[in-house]
Structure 1
Amino acid sequence: MAAPTAYRPNVGVILVNRDGLVFVAARLDNPADAWQMPQGGIDKDEDPRVAALRELEEEIGTGKAEIVAESEGWHEYDLPPELVGRMWGGKYRGQKQKWFVMRFLGKDKDIDIHTKHPEFRDWKWVPFEQVPDLIVPFKRDLYQELLATFGEVVKGIGTGA
């Protein structure tokens, strides 16, 4: 069987609290000390902005956020060879993602990772600069790109700008 060449359409969320810290969570299906920001697939004919807000609600149990910025284009990453064929029914080599920065409008008690279909076992707020060091290695370059692209926007949220 030939290796897949397509990328799965996906959205990602950089959720920022009023202290300028970014939400990260540890996946249930990965026992390693690896954290990620919320992300998920885009349904057929779904607007990426709608998908981002839906994924936030599905993954962390709250929609108390507003979109502040979004990536101009799409960011891609490839799965490591050992995961290609095992993820997403073997149809994709990786993901192409539209990323959104969102201002969190709620309180910590509004976050509930014990959703209908839980994906995470733990969560925390961290400085944005630390996020690339917390992610699985195959997504690290992507997270470095996000830091370079959205670092100033995230800082502005923390300062109330």
Structure 2
Amino acid sequence: MPHFSPVLVRGGRHRLRRLLRHRRRAMAAGLAVTAAALVAAGPRDAERVRPQGHPAAAAAPSRESERERRTATHVTAPVRIADAETVRLLHRGDRVDVVASDGSASRVVAAGARVTEVPEPQEDTAESAAEAGALVVLSVPRATAARLAGAGASMRLAVTLC
């Protein structure tokens, strides 16, 4: 076997540096794209994104217009539940299903309604309130509020916690 001189690779160190330099650029580009995606998917509320002194913050929608938009889709509906003791278990913010029953059949009238208020029963009518049920205020879509009002007029209503 003949004797070969050692093989020297020229520029090996430079190639390694160039590869590392390009990796840094690729990493920087990837981080920039990730940051842009996070900003795009961030909170939609302009007041949270912009500071108070920012000129565009004045053009941001006010809380009143935001409330009007929210109430356009959801309304508060007072509902009388047949079992007053069940209503005592409810708290503001709970999610409930409202079930209507006419004695022979039952059906879910409102699914996943949010409890906005549980009024306290008045002292002088405690006995009549126990017989007639208790009032609870729910936040539901407009169409569901209409179904609740119709069912409450002709059927007994009950709630189940979600």
Larger radius of gyration: 2
Bigger relative contact order (CA 8 A; separation at least 6):
1
- Choose between structure 1 and 2: higher helix proportion: 2
- Choose between structure 1 and 2: higher strand proportion: 1
Flag whether TM exceeds 0.5 (same fold).
no
TM-score band, normalised by shorter chain: under 0.3
Please report the TM-score for the alignment, with normalisation by the length of structure 1. 0.24
